[in-house]
Amino acid sequence: MTKKEEKKSIIEICPIRNVVARFGNKWALLVVFILNENGSTRFNQLARQIPDISTKVLSNTLQILEADGLVKRTVFPEVPIRVEYELTATGKSLVPIIISLTEWAQNNMQSIMEHRKKFESLS
- Domain annotation for the chain: domains and CATH numbers: 13-120 (1.10.10.10)
Residue 85's CB: how many other CB atoms inside 10 A? 23
pLDDT at 2 over 70: no
Answer whether 28's CB lies under 8 Å from 64's CB: yes
**What are 58-69's pLDDT values in tens digits?**
999 999 999 999
- Look at residue 3 in the predicted model and tell me its pLDDT: 54
Share of the chain above pLDDT 90, in %: 72
Cα(49)–Cα(72) distance, integer angstroms: 19
- Look at residue 10 in the predicted model and tell me its pLDDT: 66
- Look at residue 11 in the predicted model and tell me its pLDDT: 61
pTM of the predicted structure, to 2 decimals: 0.79
